[in-house]
Structure formats: C-alpha cells, structure tokens
Amino acid sequence: MKKYLDIFLSAILSGVCISLGVCVYLSLIATAKIIGSLFFGLGLFIIIHFKLHLYTGKVGDVLNHSPKYLFDLLICIIGNFVGVLATTSIMKLTRLNPTLVQEAFKIVETKQADSWYSILILSTLCGVMIYIACKGHEKCEYPLGKVIFCFLAISIFILCGFEHCIANAAYYTLAGIFNLKAFGYFLLMILGNAIGAIFVDGAFKIIEHLRTPKEAE
C-alpha cells in the first residue's frame, strides 16, 4: 500500500510539473514559441531529477518488469491526471486564464480535427522522444549532456506537434473540451506513447545483446 501511495503522490507532482510547463509554453507561444518549448522542458527535468512518476517516462520500462508493473502504470497515469486537473483548475482562477484558454483552444481544435491514425503516429513519436530524454539523462555521464538530452528532446516533440497524453490533458482541461472523440483520442495517445517508448527500449536491448561478446562454446 505504501508503494502505491508513493507512486500516486509522486505522479500528482509530475502532473503539476507538466501542467506548469504547458502554462509557460502557452504564455509564450504567440511571441516566442521556441523559447516556450525549451522552458516546457523544465517540468520533465524536475521530474527526472527528483525521480517522480510520469507515465510517459515510466512506460518504457515495461520490458524490465513483471505484468504487475502495469498496475503501477495505472496508478501513475491516474495520479498524473489528478495533478493536471488540480493545476489547470487553479490556473483558471488567475488573470492568466484568458491567454491560456485561448491558446489551448487553438491547439485542441487542431487535435480534434486530426485523423485517428495521425494522432497514433504522433503519439508514438512522442513516446520515442520522451524515452530518449529520460534514458539520455540517465546514461549520459556529463552534467551538461544530461541537460541537453532532456531539454532538446522535449523542445523537439513540442515544436513538431507530437502528442503527449499528460500534456494534452492540460490543453484539453484548459480549453474545456470534453467529448467522446476526445476520450478516444486520449486512449490512442496513451497507447501511442507506450508503443514509442517500448519500441525504442526493445530496439536498444536487441542492439546491446548483439554487441555483447558471446562466451566461447
């Protein structure tokens, strides 16, 4: 029980971090989109540094765990959404609300007009970038390299319009758009983020296996 409470509370904090990144990005998107995308990365950097639970950062580890890990991911994503909902609800009470809602609505409108397979593909690519950000930060031996891996990978997925299920939860709640199509697209985003991260993790495992010298028979 203690383990799941830790995951849940940690996931809520991750949702808060991602939501704050979204708010910074929306505040700058009209005048300094590239800078906004870089500032967005601070949310993930905090999550990685403090080892918080973010669905898109944890789903790539599925191959390293037993099937019970799927329940951990479920608790994680629920916590992430709770953190997003709490943060966006609070932000709506501030003077920033008009700008955040206006820009979020534009982004959500584009997503809603997109096809399901486009959403799935873009979600998969986002999963790839988040995996690279997290594992690059973990594997790189140099402090500057860790920062570059995190911030550039995030900036790339933001500028390319890749679909991040937790960040999108913030966009949708700010825009106030909730319908059956949005729900279906969220399921696709969750699936796509998982496919991208697990695919890259599996590919690296195969490469590592092939490069490992075999013992002499």
Q: Kindly report, residue by residue over 72-112, the tens digit of the pLDDT.
A: 999 999 999 999 999 999 999 999 999 999 999 999 999 99
Distance of CA 39 to the CA centre of its chain: 14
Is residue 41 within 8 A of residue 155, CB to CB? The reply is: yes
Average pLDDT in the chain: 95
Structure tokens at 53: 């639970």
pLDDT at position 216, please? 46
pTM of the full structure:
0.93
Distance CA 13, CA 180 (A): 27
Residue 153 lies in a domain: yes
Residue 216 lies in a domain: no
Domain that holds residue 151: 2-211
Residue 30 lies in a domain: yes
Residue 96 lies in a domain: yes
Distance CA 32, CA 18 (A): 19
pLDDT at position 215, please? 55
Residue 62 lies in a domain: yes
Residue 217 lies in a domain: no
Is residue 193 within 8 A of residue 127, CB to CB? The reply is: yes
Residue 7 lies in a domain: yes
- The number of domains in the chain is 1
pLDDT at position 1, please? 84
CATH number of the domain bearing residue 100: 1.20.1080.10
Q: Would you give the DSSP letter of residue 216?
A: P
At 163, give phi and psi (nearest 5°).
-100, 110
pLDDT (tens digit per residue) in 149-168: 999 999 999 999 999 999 99
